[in-house]
Each structure stands twice: as C-alpha cells, then as structure tokens.
Structure 1
Amino acid sequence: MGEQGSSTRLTGSHTEEEMEGEEQKDEVRESAVPSFSEFSCTLRTVARIKQKYQAMKKRRLEMSAGLGGTGVLTGAPARTSPKIFIFDELTPAPHSSLLFSNPQRKKKKRKRRVLFPTGSGRRTPPSQENSRAKYCLYLLCGIVFLQVYNAIENLDDHVLRYDLEGFEKTLRREVFGQQGAVESLLAHLKDYLSTYVHNKPLVLSLHGPSGVGKSHLGHLLAGHFRSIVGEALVLQYYVLHHCPLEADAWRCARSLSALVSEAVARAEEEEKIPLFIFDEAEHMHSEILDELRELVVSKRSNEYLNAVYLFLSRLGHDQITKHLLHNSSSMAVSEAMRHGNLVKELTPVLRNTLEKLHPLWTHADIIPLELLEKRHVMDCFLEEITREGFYPDHANIERLAGEIDYYSSIGENEYAKTGCKQVVAKVNLL
C-alpha cells in the first residue's frame, strides 16, 4: 500500500518526496535480483546510474506531457524546476571557462559583424550609379545662364521706353554748337534710364553763358519726357516766376517739396522715372536749395531715388568764357574732343566755385556749355526764319548775323557775346 500511495502521489503532485520514494523502490527492486551479485562492483554502479537516468528522463517526459495537456491542478503547490544535470552531448561554449570562473559577471552581448553581400568580411565602397538628378542640375544651370545672358543683352529695354534715340535726333537738329554737351547729357540719361532701381537720383547741372541754348535744351527735354511719362511726372520750375520774392522763400520751399513728393509717389506706382527741371538756378534762394538737397540725399523711401533733377544756370560762365577765349587758337579739333577737353579742365574749377555757393552741387554732375560761334548763330537765324515762313536768303541771314556782337579773339573762331538770344527779336523785325 505504501508503494501504491507513493506512485499515486508522484503522478498527481510530482514533488521531490515522490521522486525519493521512487528511487528507494528501484533500489529494493535491484537488491531483489540475485543475478546482479555476479557482476563486479563497477558494472553494478554503471547499470544503476543508467537505470536512474532512464527513470528520471521518463518522469520528465510525463511531467511535460501532463503540464501541456491538463495544465496546473488547482491547489497544487507551485512547481519548482529541479536542478537536474543531464548528460546530453552539448557543444562547449568558447568562453565557458570564463563564465564558470566568475558567475557574478554579466555576459556581454557581442555585436554581430555586418557583412556585405559579396561574402567577404571586408568593407567595399558602393558602386557609382548615374543619377537622373544630375541632368536636372545641368538643365537648371543652362536656364540660369540663358537668363543672365538675356538680361545683359536686353539691358537697354528700359531705355527704349524713353526713346532716347529719337530725342538725340531732335537735339542734333535744334540745338546748335553744343555737340559735346548733348553727347554728355545723353550718356548720363542712357546710363541712368537703363534700369529702374537706383541707389541715388540723377542730378545734372548745365552751366554756360547767356544765349548758348540752356533754356531751349530744357524745353526740348521736358517736351520729350511729357510725351513718354505724362504731364504729371514732369515739373518745370522757374524761380523768377514761381518765387520772385525772397520773403516767400520758405513757403516756396515747402510747396516745391510737396510737388516733388507727389510726383515721385505717382511715378513709383506707374514704375516710371519723373523729371524735374529748374531753370535760372542762379536766382534760387538758400531755403529752396536746402529743400532740394534734402530731396536729393533723402533716404526716406526708394521712390525718391528714382528721379532726374536738371539744373540750368549761368553760374561759372566767367570761367567758361575765359577758358574758351584763351584757348581758341589751340582748338582746331572736333567739337566732341573740344568739349571733352573743356569738361576735363573746367569741371574741377566749376565744382569748387559751385560748392562754395551751396553744397547741393556736390551731388551734381556738371556739364559746361560752350560759347556759340558765328556759324552757329547763322544756323539759329536760318531755323527761326524758316519757322516764321520767310524765304531763307543766305545774304540776309549773314547780314543779320553780322549785327550780333562778338568777342575779339586771336584765332579764327568768332564767339558771340549773347549767342542766339537776339535772334528771335531780330527776325520779328523783318
């Protein structure tokens, strides 16, 4: 009964006490067999160990089958895994001696080596592959190059809007004896009007004696710009007409500033460049000059930087007349070259004189106008007679031109003292 009870307890709870009872039963069974006494002590020991191992292996299989099929019985004590050594053939770990020598030490997880698909352990560089993005980059560079080239080639597109070629033909047809000054004026306008955005306004100051065509040139320039940008963006300011009294200089300065501000604001909306012409600038009061200087150097907004200021005055005419009379014998060159020499030699002298009068001329490009010769005066008479409808008799024109006063010069050139200023009056007497 004791053996049956122990076997029953082994199948139900599988505790360690049942395992010990089974071992005792095996020992009694082995002692009951009389044939085992014939073997030697060594053989009996080996057989006993083998039987124990087979019995333990069988019990382990039964325990694993019982737990997987029926689960843990209710009320059974918690299963503890017995510490059992088995003798299966195991492959010894390469570092087993180190693990058993120091059981407290954590086992470090070794990183696996990343091998490339070639099968070798060495790292090989990736193969170069052609990318389609390279062709897109080439296309983008080509487009940028074409845009820059097109911008350079079409730099004069904005100039074409102002028709400076037509204006040049008008000046050469109606302005006499000022070929060098006309070329200089056109060069400044073409350079400035080639773009719309600027970092400062264009300030031009034309100086010359009376009757050389300053006011006439201003009339032609104002008429041309009115046909291009409109009446509201062109201002002709005559000091003796708009502000004759010095007591009203402060009021005139504020009024002029308002007119300029309104014009530049409208020009900014229409993306055009306005023109401001100030004739008889030698009569300008200091308050007006101060206000104009503030407008020229103004940094309030960008619209004040896109404008053309033209000053016409007799300031410095003494230096121009003196220079031409003293160098008339050595000026047997073209008018353009003569004007180039005139600008080169007179610009420092004129700038020094003008800056002493007011610092406004520090920001201006000075263009001197020459004295008119007798042949230029005859051209003025021919133009005026034709305009009035008279027959252009050359003898009559030469007679009228002879009535004009001229400077006595050493050379062959005869410079008129009043230029073409008396031409209109003399033609009206015909």
Structure 2
Amino acid sequence: MAALVLPPVLLLVAGVELRSAALEPVSLSLAIGVASVLTGYLSLAPFYCALLECCPDDDSRPDAAALQLTLDEKLFGQHLAKEVILRAVTSFINNPNPKKPLALSLHGWAGTGKNFVSQIIAENLYEAGMRSKFVHLFISTLHFPHKHQVQLYKDQLQKWIRGNVSACAKSVFIFDEMDKLHPGLIDAIKPFLDYYEQVDGVSYRRAIFIFLSNAGGNLIMKVALDFWRSGRLREEIRLQDLDEALSLGVFNNRNSGLWHSSLIDRNLIDYFVPFLPLEYQHVKMCIRAEMMSRGHLIDEDTVWKVANEMTFFSTDEMVYSDKGCKTVQTKLDFY
C-alpha cells in the first residue's frame, strides 16, 4: 500500500517555523512530539522568564542596598528626597500585605532630579527600567492634551490602569508634568489609590504611583533660601519644614494638577517629596558624573567652563541654578 502523503504543513517548534513539503506520518508524529515537549519546557516559569519579562512574584525583593548606593552616587543636593524615597520604596516592597498602593508626589524645579529618581526606582524594581512593560509613563501634554476630552481621558486612564494591574499587580505608573494636567482628571484614579482590598475584583495594593510636578517649586525655594540667608546648612532642612506647606500649596494651586484633588483631601498621597533647588557646587557634581558616565576622565577645567555657562536664579544672591542640571548634557557636548 502506498504511504499516505500529507499536504504541506507548517509547525511552530520552540518559536521556530519548520516547513515540509510532505512529511510522512512517522516524521509528523515525531515533530509534534518534540513540539509538545518543548512547549511544556517553555511553559516552565524560570525558563520562560529568562527569555521574556515576567511580573515579579510575591517573594521578589529588589536590592535596597543597591537603591541606596545609586541614590548616593547619582543624586546630588537632595538629602530629603534620598531619605524619603529610600524609606518609602524599601518599606513598601518589603511589606507582604500593604493596605494601599504606594503614592509619591515629587515636587521641585526642573532639573532637580524628579525624572531621574523615577528612573532609578524603575531600574531598581525592573531590570529593563523605564523600558519594562510593567512601567507606564504618562506625560500630560502628550497623553491628555485637550481640556474638552477630560471625561474620555478619565475613562481611558481607568481602563489602562485596571488592565495593566490585572496583568501585573506590581505595576508602576508615572505621571509627568502634573502641573500641566487638567484639574480633576487625576481624581479618576482615586478608587485605585484608596484603602480598598479590591475594586471590581482587582487588587491595586501592590502598585506604585509616582506624580512629578514643578508645582511647589517656589515654596521649596523660599524655605531653602531662608536657611541659606540665615547661615544654616541646607542639610539642616527637614521634611517637616516643607511637608504641610507643600501639600497645602499644591492643593490650592490651580496649576498643580492636584488642585482640590480628592487624592490630597482623602490623604491618599503617602509622601510629598521636595526637591531642593541646586547650587553651583551641585551643578559641578552633575557635570563630573556625566563625564564619568561617558567614560571620560574628569577635567576640572571643562567642569568649570560648563558650570559657568549655566544660569542662576535672579535673586540678589544668585544662589540657585534656574535649570538645575537639566542642560548639563547638551552643554557638555560642546566640549
């Protein structure tokens, strides 16, 4: 009897296409068996997660010492932010049963390190950092540009957060340019930040929400300048010197994105993190760190030249850089 000749087939074995014009029954059975074995092998979590990014399990604990080292080595002039971020993030991720998501609101002038700290947190939690599929960045002027579509944005935002937390409980959501966000929009996520065990069958208690804003920068500068004028070190500024004034100032500021927000009214933001304006010495630290990151030896003459091209806030004292370290990279390119 003539062997049965099958039509051309396409098999997917371990992600590789195997084409055959005509496989005999025995060959076909063998190929299917191999595919079944490999499929079962690939389904094993360790092997699968070595190839594709997986959501961390409950036992996953990022390295707190590594987070502290990175903050110490790369964040300059921000003793308050270092202290709060390290304490807040490490205590949250080590808590096996948090009662609510972690919500951080980072405030200060541009170039003081708010975006940088967000990246550091993301890199500490996920190897891919900001490129991780579990880290989500929203930019107000890009993702929510039109005031007349606020209700649509609210619906979309709720669906996006619900879907991603359902896929990974340890998702991170970063909202940049909060001072440009339409008032009331952020209140759409209030149920997800509250002390609910579940919302529509989904628990949000392991998620992290980070809000970045220039709002409050003037309040922070005033406190820092008062300390400087009185001859006190900036390191003497404590969180209690800023916390209440900052939360009230942001709540009553129409341009904060958190204006009369229920997130503040219901005390759902865990920490208001102030980023102090940077002085000349801190700008020089940023320049040196950037040179080292590019693999260059530190040339103090170049450091001096770049630092002196920066502009400083127009008080009589000319103490603080008005752009922080924001333009250091482009100015260093010139040299």
Same fold by TM-score greater than 0.5: yes
State whether structure 2 residue 130 is matched by structure 1 residue 233.
no
Deviates more, 1:387-396 or 1:165-174: 387-396
2:76 aligned with 1:176, yes or no? yes
Structure of larger gyration radius: 1
Query: 2:119 aligns to what SS in structure 1?
Result: helix
1:284 aligns with 2:181: yes
User: What CA distance in whole angstroms lies between the structure 2 residues aligned with 1:161 and 1:225?
Assistant: 8
Sequence identity (%): 25
- Within a 5 Å distance, the mapping from 1:37-76 to structure 2 comes to none
For residue 123 of structure 2, what is the aligned residue in structure 1?
223
Distance 2:329 2:166 in 1: 39
Alignment of 1:109-120 (within 5 A): none
Amino acid in structure 2 at the alignment position of 1:360: L
Aligned 1:406-425 pairs, distance under 5 A: 406-407=312-313, 414-425=319-330
In terms of mean alpha carbon deviation, does 292-301 or 373-382 score higher?
Answer: 292-301
- Asked if structure 2 preserves the Cα contact closer than 8 Å seen for 1:406 and 1:416, the reply is yes
Structure 1, residues 72-119: CA drift from partner, whole Å, max 9, x if none? xxxxxxxxxxxxxxxxxxxxxxxxxxxxxxxxxxxxxxxxxxxxxxxx
Structure-1 residue corresponding to 2:47 = none
Per-residue displacement from partner, 1:15-36 (whole Å, max 9, x unpaired)?
xxxxxxxxxxxxxxxxxxxxxx
TM-score by length of 1: 0.56
Partner amino acid, structure 1, of 2:95: T
CA distance in 1, matches of 2:315, 2:65: 36
**Within 5 Å, which residues of 2 pair with 1:338-377?**
338-340=236-238, 343-356=239-252, 357=259, 358-361=261-264, 362-364=267-269, 365-377=271-283
2:163 pairs, out of 262, 281, 289, with 262
CA displacement, residues 158-202 of structure 1 (integer Å, 9 cap, x when unaligned): 797111211221122111111221111110112222223222221
Partner of residue 37, structure 2: none
Q: Does 1:392 align with 2:298?
A: yes
Give the Cα separation in 2 of the matches to 1:181 and 1:396. Answer: 29
Structure 1 distance, partners of 2:205, 2:168, is 11
The alpha carbon displacement at 1:297 in A equals 2.1
User: How far did residue 379 of structure 1 move?
Assistant: 1.2
- In structure 2, what residue type is equivalent to 1:296? L
Q: Number of residues paired by the alignment?
A: 264
For 1:373, give the aligned amino acid.
E
Deviation at 1:302? 5.9
Give the helix-richer structure, 1 or 2: 1
Deviation (angstroms), 1:375: 1.2
How much does 1:267 deviate?
Answer: 2.6
Q: Which has the higher strand share?
A: 2
Structure 2 counterpart of 1:135: none
Deviation at 1:279, TM superposition (A): 1.2
In the alignment, structure 2 segments of 5+ residues that lack a partner are 1-57, 253-258
In structure 2, distance between residues paired with 1:322 and 1:279: 23
Change (3 A) 1:408 1:328: farther
Kept in 2: contact 1:378–1:398 (CA 8 A): yes
Q: Separation in 2 of the partners of 1:418 and 1:313?
A: 14
Q: Give the SS at the match of 1:161.
A: coil
1:245 aligns to 2:166 (yes or no): no
- Alpha carbons of 1:159 and 1:426: their partners in 2 closer, same or farther (altered >3 Å)? farther
**Residue pair 2:101, 2:208 contacting (<8 A) in 1 also:** yes
Offset at residue 383 of structure 1 (A): 2.0
1: CA distance, partners of 2:207 / 2:128: 14
Q: Which runs of 5+ in 1 are unaligned?
A: 1-157
Which letter maps to 1:424?
A: Q
1: CA distance, partners of 2:278 / 2:87: 22
In structure 2, C-alpha distance between the alignment counterparts of 1:298 and 1:345, rounded to whole Å? 28
1:294 alignment counterpart = 191
The range that moved more, 178-187 or 231-240, is 231-240
1:6-45 mapped onto 2 (5 Å cutoff): none
Structure 1 position 389, deviation (Å): 4.8
Q: Is the 8 A contact 1:282 1:315 kept in 2?
A: yes
User: How high is the TM-score relative to the length of structure 2?
Assistant: 0.71
CA 1:195–1:386 in structure 2 vs 1: closer, same or farther (change >3 Å)?
A: closer
